[in-house]
Amino acid sequence: MSVVSDRYCDGINPNLVDLAEDHLYHLGLSTGTTDFKLVFGDVKFVCTAGSPNRIRKLAQYLAQQSGTSTELRNLAEKGGRFVLFKVGPVLCADHGMGTPSLSILLHELFKLIRYAGCKDVTFFRLGTSGGIGVNPGTIIVTSESLNTELKPIYELRILGKLVARPTTSDPDLARELVKITNEANICNAILGKTVCANDFYEEQARLDGAFCSITAEDKFAYLRLAYEKGVRNFEMECTCFTSLCRLAGVRAAVVCVTLVNRLLSDQVRISQEEYAHFQELPGLVFAEYLKRHNTLASGPAH
């Protein structure tokens, strides 16, 4: 664990106290023009996903289940980068693809919930992923987030120097999500380690990118090694998500559906109908979690 993560594990950046106004640039929200305590003070759950369309549909579904208006306003519209919807105590945002885009969203959401004075917030990432040795349509709840070296760290460079942050997340929350998915018969769900890659093709050992410098033997040796270490899926955000949530002092869970079994194919070959169904599954798990925590009908949508 690096000095950086030790020093700021409570998520406090002392410089923010001195800012007269903080403009959350990519969210298009400013402490000077929005009363964060009034608008966001009751937030308890933050739900993120890669695709803006998927997160919009999920927010509408949650609003419908809460009996509130499904005419939701994108609160981050001015920023022109992300969508942000609020349904009672639930914030829903898209994070784009990859850790750089996600890290921007997380920095700004962590500042938002701090300025709003939110307490006991839990963050979820709902995603799609490539499975390793599991059938398409399986939910993997991440037990540990690994980088492509199969180490449980998130690396970034600060002042050009490498900093490695641990990716530990909440084991009880992960187990609970697997349990309720299976109990509610949403689909098959398992715990598994998840690898975060910085690319869809070459970093995930696919053979079908524009470039490929490895053989099929290299690929299968790498995927089998990952499988033996407990990896069940690859995606592009989990190490950043769990390590930054840990630094910010919020609970975090990563819930992904698999769209392909990489031991059989690199390409996603499911039908349009299966694709539409599978990508809704993580949202159904999240909604079931909210129901069991008596959250779905507890506040008006803004």
Number of residues that bind a second copy (CB under 8 A): 69
Report if residue 8 touches a second copy, rule: CB under 8 A.
yes
* Rg, the chain, Cα only: 19
Report if residue 180 touches a second copy, rule: CB under 8 A.
no
3-state secondary structure of 237: coil
- The phi-psi region of residue 205 (left if phi > 0; otherwise alpha if psi is between -120 and 50; otherwise beta) is left
DSSP code for 77: G
Range 268-297, binding a second copy (CB under 8 A): 268-269
Q: Which is nearer to a second copy, 2 or 188 (CB)?
A: 2
Cα–Cα distance, 302 to 64 (Å, whole number) = 14
3-state secondary structure of 58: helix
3-state secondary structure of 63: helix
Q: How far is the CB of 10 from a second copy (least distance, A)?
A: 10
- Count of CA atoms in the C-beta half-sphere (13 A) of 39: 19
Instruction: Confirm or deny that 64 is annotated as ligand binding.
Output: no
Longest dimension (CA), the chain: 58
Range 67-96, binding a second copy (CB under 8 A): 80-81, 96
**Can you tell me which of 67, 210, 228, 273 binds a second copy, judged by CB under 8 A?**
210
Joined tokens for residue 238:
């989990």
Report if residue 54 touches a second copy, rule: CB under 8 A.
yes
Backbone angles phi, psi at 196, to 5 degrees: -100, 120
**DSSP bridge pairs for 254:** 125
* Cβ–Cβ < 8 Å for 47, 90: yes
**Can you tell me which of 164, 180, 190, 212 binds a second copy, judged by CB under 8 A?**
212
Range 96-155, binding a second copy (CB under 8 A): 96-101, 103-104, 106-108, 110-111, 114, 147-150
Q: Residue ranges for the binding site?
A: 81, 125-128, 204, 206
Q: Residue ranges for the binding site for substrate?
A: 204, 206
Q: Residue ranges for the binding site for phosphate?
A: 81, 125-128
Site for a second copy, rule CB under 8 A: 3-4, 7-8, 11, 13-16, 19, 22-23, 25-26, 50-51, 53-54, 80-81, 96-101, 103-104, 106-108, 110-111, 114, 147-150, 156-160, 163, 197-203, 205, 207-214, 218, 222, 236, 244, 247-248, 267-269
